[in-house]
Amino acid sequence: MRAVLGPLLLGWVALTTCLGCASYQAGRLYAEGSAVISTDPAQAIDKLARAAELAPHASEIHNHLGLAYAEAGRPSEALAAFERAVAVDCDNQAAQYNLARARAENP
């Protein structure tokens, strides 16, 4: 999870820079939720779902929401979140990888 912190910070900066006031809240929720994906997936889902509502075009948020759902043992919701992440940004390689993995694990 530590390898995620660098891109996480960069993603948060991009979110807060690009989207305005609501994005500050979304960025904060994204950072807080992403930080607890492996330790408290329920809390991560709550924070990341709220962030996704505030910034629905932020692929990174949907991707991390998918990771939280997967960690919580909710594969169908993880798959849907990864699909949204790729739909929002088809160049998001992490989301593409996670989507392919989720499809392979849940045919």
Give the pLDDT of residue 42: 98
pLDDT of residue 8: 54
pLDDT in tens, 10-35: 555 555 555 456 678 999 999 999 99
Q: What is the pTM of this model?
A: 0.80
How high is the pLDDT of residue 73?
A: 96
Burial class of residue 72, CB neighbours in 10 A (0-12, 13-18, 19+): middle
Helix (H, G, I), strand (E, B) or coil at 40: coil
